[in-house]
Amino acid sequence: MLDYTFNQGAKVELVSDNRPAKKAGILPGDIIVQMGDHHVSDPMSYRDALATFKRATKLP
């Protein structure tokens, strides 16, 4: 879950057990600013970037 009031990337607020983010090592407080070739400037750009990936896509 993201902090939707944060607008300098996508700030992670909550990570659920046994979900892909937890398995990838993402922690509460992390700020996502890049996903593959997609710049993440706010929660909406994170959503848009996420929509371009297929399920189970691994990013470098």
Q: Is residue 21 within 8 Å of 15, Cβ to Cβ?
A: yes
The predicted structure's pLDDT at residue 4: 92
Under the banding of pLDDT at 50, 70 and 90, the label for residue 60 is low
The first and second tokens of residue 58, run together, are 């691994």
Cα–Cα distance between 43 and 24 in angstroms, integer? 19
| Residues forming a β-bridge with 2 | 12
Q: Would you say the pTM of this structure is higher than 0.85?
A: no
- Tens of pLDDT, residue by residue over 4-38, are 999 899 999 999 999 888 988 999 999 999 998 99
The first and second tokens of residue 19, run together, are 């979900």
- Tens of pLDDT, residue by residue over 38-59, are 999 999 999 999 999 887 767 6
CA-CA-CA-CA torsion sign (24, 29, 31, 32) = positive
Neighbours of 40 (CB within 10 A): 20
